[in-house]
Amino acid sequence: MNSYIFYAMAFLTRANASSHLAAQEVAALKRVFQNLDRSSCPTRYNFHLHSVFSDGQLQPDEILSQVIAIGLQGLAITDHHSVLGYHLAQDILVDRRKRDPRTPLPQLWTGVEISAELLGTEVHILGYGFDPRHAAIQHYLQGEKVTGNDFNARYVIDAIHAAHGLAVLAHPCRYRKAAEDLIPAAAALGIDGTEAFYAYRKALPWTPSEIQTELVSSLNAQYHLFNTCGTDTHGRDMLSRV
C-alpha cells in the first residue's frame, strides 16, 4: 500500500468516526430538546451562553466551575462565530474525566451563534451538536459574521445541517420582524427549533418571559419545532444574562 492510499484511508477513518460521534451527540441532544420546559434552564440545562472568545466575560474554566457548582446536566457555549471556547472547555472536561472518572460531569455539546439575514432582518441562528471540523461550517467559525450570499439564513441552516448539527433561531421575539413572521419563514428553510424559554427582561433570578414563551411555544408546536432554552449569559454569573 503506497503512502497516499494509507493516509487517505486514515483520514476517511477519522472522518467517519467523527461523523458517527456527531450523530450520537445529536441524537442525545434531540432527546433533551424534546423534554425541555420552562423549568429546565438555568439549573439543569443551558444552551445559550458566551465566553471571552466572543462577547462574554467568563473563561471556559470559569464556565465549567459554575456549571459544576450549579449542577447542570448539559450545556453549549455559543460564542459568536467561534468554537474556541468549546474546544478549551472540552479539553478541560476530558482531563477531569481521566483524573476522576467517578465524578459526574455535564455533557458539553458544540455550539455557536451565527448572524444571518431572514426576511430582510438580521437574526441570530444557534448551531448545536455539529462537527466543528466539518468543511461546511468553517466559513462561519472565523470570529466575525460573513457577507454576501453566505449571510442568508438558508445557507447558515444548510451549513449547520451539513456538519451534522441542529439549527435553532435564537430569541425570536427580539428582532424588528415579528416572531409570527420569522418562525414560519425559518421553518420553511428547515430550521430545527427556536429558543422558546428566554428572559427578554434582565430579571433576577433568571426567568423565561411568560408572554413570549407562550407565543413561541405555540408557534413551535404548530411548525413541529423544538423548544430550547438558554440564559444568553454575557457577564460573570451564569444564572443571569449580564
CA distances from 93 to 23, 42, 61, 97 (A): 20, 20, 9, 6
Taking the C-alpha atoms of residue 234 and residue 43, their distance in angstroms, rounded to an integer, is: 17
* Cell, residue 150: 453566505
The boundaries of the domain holding residue 153 are: 3-229
Asked if residue 36 is part of any domain, the answer here is: yes
Q: Give the mean pLDDT of the chain.
A: 91
Asked if residue 162 is part of any domain, the answer here is: yes
Q: Is 154 helix (H, G, I), strand (E, B) or coil?
A: helix
Helix or strand run (H / E) with residue 214? helix 210-222
What CATH number should be reported for the domain holding residue 161? 3.20.20.140
pTM of the full structure: 0.90
- How many domains are contained in the chain? 1
pLDDT tens, 106-127? 999 999 999 999 999 999 999 9
Asked if residue 100 is part of any domain, the answer here is: yes
> Which pairing describes strands 111-118 and 121-128: parallel, antiparallel, or unpaired?
antiparallel
Question: What integer is the mean pLDDT of 230-241?
Answer: 95
Asked if residue 104 is part of any domain, the answer here is: yes
pLDDT tens, 166-201? 999 999 999 999 999 999 999 999 999 999 999 999
Is the pLDDT at 10 greater than 80, yes or no?
A: no
Question: What integer is the mean pLDDT of 199-205?
Answer: 88
Taking the C-alpha atoms of residue 63 and residue 106, their distance in angstroms, rounded to an integer, is: 12
Contact in structure between 110 and 80 (CB atoms under 8 Å): no
Q: pLDDT band at 23, cuts 50/70/90? A: low
* Cell, residue 123: 437574526
